[in-house]
Amino acid sequence: MDAVREAVPSLASLARHLGVTRGAVAQWERVPAERLGEVSRITGLNATVIRPDLFPEAAE
């Protein structure tokens, strides 16, 4: 979530884009897999940067 937090003006802004509350986003320790594509599109970050645990082959 650190990279995501750095890539958006605020969690409230990200939440608005996702159609969820700021509190919901603030509770995330990791971006949920089902939200990964949306968050990647909004932030401009590659999915492997946001959730490297889902892409172990990218670390090799």
Query: For position 9, which CATH number holds?
Result: 1.10.260.40
Contact call for residues 30 and 39 (beta carbons, < 8 A): no
State pLDDT tens for residues 32-52.
999 999 999 999 999 999 999
The dihedral over CA atoms of 33, 36, 1, 50, expressed in degrees to the nearest 10, equals 100
In which domain, by residue range, is 43 found?
2-59
Contact call for residues 6 and 16 (beta carbons, < 8 A): no
The answer, as to whether pTM is greater than 0.85, is: yes
Q: How far apart are the C-alpha atoms of 30 and 41, rounded to whole Å?
A: 16
State pLDDT tens for residues 5-25.
999 999 999 999 999 999 999
Q: Give counts: helices (H), strands (E), the chain.
A: 5, 0
> Into how many domains does the chain fold?
1
Q: How far apart are the C-alpha atoms of 58 and 43, rounded to whole Å?
A: 20
Which pLDDT does position 60 carry in this prediction? 58
